[in-house]
Amino acid sequence: MNEHRSVRPLEGKVAAVSGAGQGVGRGIALALASEGVRVAVLGRTAARLEATCELLRARGAEAEPFVLDVRDTERVPGTVEAVAARFGGIDILVNNAYTGSYGPLLTLSDAQFREGFESGPFAAFAFMNAAHPYLRRNGGVIINLVTSAMVRWDLSTYGAYASAKTALRTLTRAAADEWGRDGIRVNAIAPHAVSPAYAKWQDTHPEEAAEFSATIPLGYVGDCEEDIGRAVVMLCGPDARYLTGATVPLDGGQANFG
């Protein structure tokens, strides 16, 4: 047993976080940066990425933006190589980016249904494979973002979203099984957080938002950094070294994952 762990065991590690220009991705990046992690901030919008980097640098962290639409999987290997070249490797990969549609199945086009898979499991698969050589060097960690919508009893209007996220959850488990011997841990989180999209919905549908919050045992929707990002810090650290292949609900106790 190691009784003298570093106060900041992740200090100096390198994390690549997709969809980090806002919301949960930014919250995760901020939490990691506060632990001395050097962060590659990935996303589609340069201005948002730079805004995140400025916040990270204000905390004394090293940060660099990388503009990429994760659906363009042919560009993923080159982006991963660029991140590794810039920082000297990759220790943590967070697949957070997602673009998809909601609504009754009969209202969705093939393209809308496909979009969630392209930005979700397809993109994560590309990032995970490209990052594998770097992650195995020092025992890396992968965190994939899924959703409690996967376990809703009534999946009406959530079909496309939950289908893509369920595929990502299965990919998480498969990678954990195959890459454990490489020293790579792979887990998923299912967060509820006050993202920009949630805040907009709360403003336009206050009664529905209040009803939603009332179903959360802890009584509130999580903060992107303090509730979601801090949990990711724990999952990436040595205290979670024996945890892999798991889906961790970060939803205030709302969902029943069985």
Catalytic residue selected from 98, 102, 134, 161 = 161
Structure tokens at 167: 């595929």
pTM of the model: 0.95
The alpha carbons of the chain give a radius of gyration, in whole angstroms, of: 18
User: How far is Cα 139 from Cα 72, in angstroms, rounded to an integer?
Assistant: 27
Q: Does 161 qualify as catalytic in the annotation?
A: yes
DSSP letters, 171-201, are HHHHHHHHHGGGT-EEEEEEE-B--HHHHHH
The CATH number of domain 14-237, selected from 3.40.50.300, 1.10.3470.10, 3.40.50.11270, 3.40.50.720: 3.40.50.720
Predicted confidence at residue 7, as pLDDT, reads 85
User: How far is Cα 106 from Cα 228, in angstroms, rounded to an integer?
Assistant: 34
State the Cα angle at 233 between 232 and 236, rounded to 5°: 85
Predicted confidence at residue 4, as pLDDT, reads 46
What is the side-by-side strand order in the sheet with 92-95? 63-67, 38-43, 14-18, 92-95, 141-145, 185-191, 247-250
Parts of the chain with a pLDDT under 50: 1-4
Predicted confidence at residue 6, as pLDDT, reads 59
